[in-house]
Amino acid sequence: MSSPVDTILKSLLYFEKSPNTSIYIQIAQQIINAIQRGYLAEGTALPGTRKFSALLSINRNTAVAVYDELASQGWVKVVANKGTFVLMPERKTAALKGALQGLAALKSYPKTTGFPFQPSFNLASTEEFSACKYVINDGQPDLRLHPTHQFSRWYSASMKRASLISKWNQTQEKSQTTFSRQLCNYLNATRGFHIKPQHIVSTRSTEMSLYIISQLLIQKNDIVLVGDLSHYKSNMIFQQAGATIKTIPVDAHGIDVDYIEKNYTRHSIRSVYVCAHRQYPTTVTLSAERRLKLLQLARAYEFAIIEDDFDYDFQFDGSAMVPMASADGQGVVIYLGRLGQSFFPSFQIGFVVAPENIINEAKNYLQLLDRQGDLIQKQILAELIDEGEIHRLIKKNSTVYKQRRAYLFDCLQTHFQEYAIWKVPAGGLAVWLCFEPKISLIKLAEKTKALDLFLPKTILYQNKNICAIRFGYGHLNEKEIETVINILKQSYEALLP
């Protein structure tokens, strides 16, 4: 007859082959759970490894591994020639008995706090999730283009550097000197800067950069000017800092700088936010004439220009325009950028270029938020810049994206010539697609979703004058582009009167 312990184990334990969790780990975790719940009392003798393996129809080596895992965590004690016995690990902290609460209330964790607090409306998540096979995003790179074996080698090599160990727990300034120098060299060569490490600080992302800068610049009710169509994430960050956001018109030449001069006075504006190369979401480029005028106006009115250059690496036609910050002799421009968009997201960083005094303040904030950052990531990026590998990867991926851009516009010409208006941008991984005649974009998203194509709300722009989407194509190959365009056309035509 089976012992009571055998019956308990047979009824409680379940496992399956999984690429993520080994069988012995699955079994060990379930035995621990059974001990915690009181099914297996302290002192209970577990079956021998031969009997245990036969009981669960597993290899005996797997049974041995289960008991070894339990013993290493202190849940069982293996006594030679006697057997394996359940232990109850010593508590490291005193238990709170909760005398004033019912036992039922202690069996689950509270869903809400027992004290009031103010939720942040400005930081409400915009993330949406869908099981659709195809998705149009706002212009993200294709992770499939990244050579995983190369990144594995780079990461492994950096982990073995003897110098890396000495950098842990050093001050941020000392630990990032080599990387900062390399980053300055790269930006000076590619963007026309003449900066030194004291003029730059690196962060985890451009959003983190903007958050820190907004904390330094903005006080409650300060006016921040953005384009009448602007980046929703930047607007959220400004509003969270207490800014009053005012919009200014955007036309084919970028934001209307004359509008600022006509409608605002000296010291009435705290900052103007612009996208350096391609205005988000419309992809129009701020003309050279307006760049110069904006610089002059910033000096006269004494406001800061926040220049967000989020897609500098993806320039396909002609040369990329140098940032306004490279022509700023008065310290009115704060330049935000991103490095490593041709790499995996974990290898990408954000950075801020600005006068030394504001960089020092930004570093003080960063000390609180992210004292050292990712030292391995910075070491890898420094070596890739030094060896010129970053230029090769950018060039290689840009060739692919340029081909995809050409294929997308061929498909649009074939399927949407009579339904939409667009302009081929000189770079970037998105196109501004305006529909005519206008339809309901919410209904369009419902139609496409039924056909396995997901349109996030963050790419849909509709009011009485606009019916457009920011169509990100970089993550789609040519076959996927064709499929997506066909679904989009079919859904659009279904909504026409």
pLDDT of 165: 57
Better-scored residue on pLDDT, 24 or 156: 24
- The CA distance from 378 to 362, in Å, is 18
Residue 164's pLDDT band, with cuts at 50, 70 and 90, is low
- The CA distance from 64 to 312, in Å, is 56
Whole-number mean pLDDT of the chain? 87
Name which of 388, 360, 329, 324 is nearest 200 in CA terms.
Answer: 360
Question: With 50 as the cut, is the pLDDT of residue 161 above it?
Answer: yes
Mean pLDDT of 55-77: 90
How many C-beta atoms surround the C-beta of residue 396 within 10 A?
12
Which stretch of 100-109, 180-189, 277-286, 370-379 has the lowest confidence by average pLDDT? 100-109
pLDDT of 100: 42
CB 440 within 8 A of CB 460: no
Query: Does pTM surpass 0.85?
Result: no
Residue 35's pLDDT band, with cuts at 50, 70 and 90, is confident
- The CA distance from 345 to 474, in Å, is 15
CB 225 within 8 A of CB 272: yes
pLDDT of 222: 96
pLDDT tens profile 248-272 = 999 999 999 999 999 999 999 999 9
Mean pLDDT of 283-292: 94
pLDDT of 97: 46
Question: With 90 as the cut, is the pLDDT of residue 387 above it?
Answer: no
pLDDT of 167: 59
Residue 111's pLDDT band, with cuts at 50, 70 and 90, is confident
pLDDT of 103: 44
CA dihedral sign, ordered 326, 331, 332, 333 = positive
Residue 90's pLDDT band, with cuts at 50, 70 and 90, is low
pLDDT of 169: 52
Mean pLDDT of 366-388: 84
- Alpha-carbon 351 to chain mean position: 15
The set of long-range contacts for 324-327, using a CB threshold of 8 Å and a minimum separation of 24, is 324/274, 324/276, 324/291, 324/294, 324/295, 325/193, 325/353, 326/191, 326/192, 326/193, 326/194, 327/291, 327/292, 327/295
Q: Which residues contact 366 (CB under 8 A, 6 or more apart)?
A: 172, 201, 203, 212
β-sheet bridge partners, residue 337: 309, 351
Mean pLDDT of 45-52: 90
How many C-beta atoms surround the C-beta of residue 367 within 10 A?
13
Question: With 50 as the cut, is the pLDDT of residue 95 above it?
Answer: no
Which stretch of 49-63, 91-105, 226-240, 308-322 has the lowest confidence by average pLDDT? 91-105
pLDDT of 294: 96
Residue 264 in tokens = 């605002």
Better-scored residue on pLDDT, 163 or 437: 437
pLDDT tens profile 448-488 = 999 999 999 999 999 999 999 999 999 999 999 999 999 99
Domains of the chain: 4-86 (1.10.10.10), 134-140+393-495 (3.90.1150.10), 163-387 (3.40.640.10)
Better-scored residue on pLDDT, 51 or 374: 51
Mean pLDDT of 391-413: 93
pLDDT tens profile 329-350 = 899 999 999 988 877 777 789 9
Burial code (b: 16+ CB inside 10 Å, e: under 16) for 104-143 equals eeeeeeeeeeeeeeeeeeeeeeeeeeeeeebbbbbbebbe
pLDDT tens profile 414-427 = 999 999 999 999 99
CB 362 within 8 A of CB 201: yes
Percent of the chain whose pLDDT exceeds 90: 54
What 3-state DSSP class applies to 392?
helix
3-state secondary structure 321-353: CCCHHHHCCCCCEEEEEEECCCCCHHHCEEEEE
